[in-house]
Amino acid sequence: MNSILVTGAAGFIGSSLVDKLLLNNYKVIGIDNFSNNYSKQLKQQNIKEALLNSNYTFYTSDIENIKELDKIFSENKIDKIVHLAAKAGVRQSIEQPIDYIKTNIIGTVNILEMMKKYNIKHMSMASSSSVYGNCKANKFSENLNTREPISPYAATKATDEQICYTYHYLYDLNIYMLRFFTVYGPRQRPALVINIFADNIINNKPIDVYGDGSSERDYTYIDDITDGIISSLTYNKTGYEIFNLGSDNPIKLNDMIMLLEKNIGKKAKINKLPMPLGDIYKTNADISKAKQLLQYTPKTSFEEGIKKFITWKNKQC
């Protein structure tokens, strides 16, 4: 049985992945520091069932603390790593760039140092579609220029990709960078736009719409993302790769609002605002590489995903 270390294990993607790994009979070691980016209670709820599984070991720890990491790595046999822990969010990174650099870059180097010390040869890591910046291409392919990030968050993820390549080259580590495209679904972080809009529509509060509503996002349902991550854990044909994990189906902001209105059964009250600094107008994932090498095939349409998300949200009320 493979033993997988998951960082950021109490978060939206991390906890969803842990549940799926346990369902597939992996042994899992989880790390999360319960950062104050949102409610600790929500994160504890995310891992409540997993903690009952005898194949799960969980540590409250911070990837910035290399001494704590060393203790965890020394106490456990770890075959592979899924590194998801990071400070997320474009706008907040503009206000707190130093915090993002500490967690997203220094924290990642700490994980790489543990891989080197404990001879762990395989890691799948969360990158982000934000590394593409204001890309003008019709579709974002992995070989496009990512040297012009427009937020500190994007810059940290682009830096992580380069540092991980360096460790792959120097120490023969297999590292696969997964560029996630706007993940949504049950357990979604409260600060993500679909969650904010749903809450405000349900509670008859206005939603802030930046621009004219024509901006587009390649929304990707959580189950498709976790399937892609697990596929990357079994991939070993090349030592370092970057993969887009998206839906290949951009949705306009106005259309997303209409789908929320339809599933909630209420009309949104809209407050129009100018586009903020750091925001990207459009994302559109070219997933042909992930399809070919990882057999990645997103299965959940946006309409179905929003329906599942609102069903889950109604159960939380």
Give me the CATH number covering residue 143: 3.40.50.720
Domain count, the chain: 1
CB–CB of 107/33 below 8 Å? no
pLDDT value for 170? 98
- Alpha-carbon distance of 127 to 187, in angstroms, equals 20
Give Cβ neighbours of residue 176 (< 8 Å, ≥ 6 apart): 123, 124, 125, 232, 235, 240, 241, 242, 243
The active-site residue, picked from 26, 56, 132, 153, is 153
Phi-psi region of 145 (alpha: psi -120 to 50; beta: other; left: phi over 0): beta
| 277 in a structural domain | no
Predicted pLDDT of residue 131: 95
What pLDDT shows up at residue 263?
97
| Residue 266, domain member (yes or no) | no
Q: Is residue 194 part of a domain?
A: no
User: Residue 119 falls within a domain, yes or no?
Assistant: yes
Q: What is the gyration radius of the CA atoms in the chain, in angstroms?
A: 19
Q: What is the mean pLDDT of each run of 10 residues along the chain (317 residues)?
A: 94 98 97 90 96 98 98 98 95 94 98 98 97 90 93 97 98 98 95 94 94 92 98 96 96 96 96 78 93 98 97 87
Pair of tokens at residue 186:
């049950």
Asked whether 73 and 118 are in contact (CB, 8 A), the reply is yes
pTM of the predicted model as reported, rounded to 2 decimal places: 0.95
Give the C-alpha distances (Å, rounded to integers) separating 7 from 108, 126, 254, 301.
Answer: 10, 10, 35, 28
Q: Pairing state of beta strands 122-128 and 269-273?
A: unpaired
- Is 264 part of any domain? no
Report the distance separating Cα 109 and Cα 120, nearest Å: 14
d(CA 307, CA 189): 17
Residue 260 forms part of a structural domain: no
Determine the structural domain holding residue 167 and report its residue range: 3-184+219-248+284-299
Predicted local distance difference test score (pLDDT) of residue 14 = 98
Whether 279 is in a domain gets the answer: no
Looking up tokens 């605002």, which residue turns up? 273
The pLDDT value recorded for residue 304 is: 98
pLDDT at 278: 62
- Is 153 in the active site? yes
Residue 225 lies in a domain: yes
Name the token pair of 284: 């559109």
